[in-house]
A = this chain, B = another copy of it.
Amino acid sequence: MAARSTRTHDPQDTRAAIVRAALELMSERSYDGTAVPDVAARAGVAAGTMYRHFKGKEALVNAVYRECKLSMHRFLIEAIAGAPSPREGFRRLWRGLWEFSRKHSEAFRFLEMHRHLPYLEPASREVSNSVMEGVATFVRSAQAEGAIREGPPEVLIALAFGAFVGLAKESEAGLTRLDEETIALSEEAVWGLLAA
C-alpha cells in the first residue's frame, strides 16, 4: 500500500547493522584484530554484502569512527548548551561524558582505541576537530570570565579529557567502580585542574 514496499529490509538497516557489528567487534579487539567475515556474521549478512555498502575495511572503520564521534559530539554539545556558568558548564560536561561512556560504552572505547590511526581519512579527522571546537569555545569564554585558568585551551582540554579517559579505563579494568560518588569526587578534582 505504501509507496515504499519494504521487501525484506531497508538498505539503511543493513548498513546500520554492519556499522553496529563492526563497532562491537572493533571496540573489543583492534581494527587489525577484527575480521570482515566476523563483522558480516554478527551483522547477519553475507560477506559479500559488506562491499555493497563500503568500499573496503578501511571505509568501514572510518564510517564507524565518524558515527561514534558525531554521536559523542551531539551528546556533549547538548549537555553543555545554555549552562548558566562555567562551573555548571563543566559539571554538565563531566556528567555528559560519564553518561555517554555508560550508554555508548562501545563507542567510547572505540574512539579511544582508534585515535589518530593511519587509516583515518581526512574527512574523519575533520569530524574530530569540529567536536573539539565546541568545547574549546566554551573554555575560551570561561577563561575570559576568569573562571578557568590561563593557557592554551587544547592543553587544558587534553588534560581534563585525558583524566576522564584514565578513570574510564580504570573502571573498565574492574579496578574501581564508576559510581555516583566517584563521579562527584572526580568532577570536583578535575575542576581543581581547570579552575583559575
**B-contacting residues of A (Cβ < 8 Å)?**
28-33, 115-116, 118, 149, 151-152, 154-156, 158-167, 169-170, 172-173, 175-176, 182, 185-186, 188-190, 192-195
Instruction: Select which of B158, B173, B192 is within 8 A of A170 by beta carbon.
Output: B158
Most buried by B among A186, A189, A194, A195: A189
Contacts of A156 in B (CB 8 A): 189
Q: Is the interface of A mostly helix, strand, loop or mixed?
A: helix
Q: Work out how many copies of this chain go into the complex.
A: 4
Instruction: Select which of B30, B152, B162, B173 is within 8 A of A163 by beta carbon.
Output: B162
Contacts of A192 in B (CB 8 A): 149, 192-195
In the bound complex, what is the Cα–Cα distance between A194 and B185 (angstroms)? 11
Q: Are B154 and A175 in contact (CB under 8 A)?
A: yes
- Which single residue of chain B is at the shortest CB-CB distance from A152? B176
- Which single residue of chain B is at the shortest CB-CB distance from A28? B118
- Which single residue of chain B is at the shortest CB-CB distance from A165? B162
- Which single residue of chain B is at the shortest CB-CB distance from A132? B175
Contacts of A186 in B (CB 8 A): 155, 159
Q: Are B169 and A116 in contact (CB under 8 A)?
A: yes
Which 10 residue pairs spanning A and B have beta carbons closest together?
Answer: A162-B166, A32-B33, A32-B32, A158-B170, A30-B30, A193-B193, A159-B163, A192-B192, A158-B166, A163-B163
State the Cβ distance, A159 to closest chain B Cβ, in Å: 4
Q: Are B33 and A185 in contact (CB under 8 A)?
A: no
Query: With contacts A176-B154, A192-B192 known, is A159 near B167, CB below 8 A?
Result: yes
State the Cβ distance, A86 to closest chain B Cβ, in Å: 15
Most buried by B among A30, A118, A164, A170: A170
Q: Are A162 and B154 in contact (CB under 8 A)?
A: no
State the Cβ distance, A174 to closest chain B Cβ, in Å: 9
- Which single residue of chain B is at the shortest CB-CB distance from A149? B189
Q: Are A151 and B185 in contact (CB under 8 A)?
A: yes
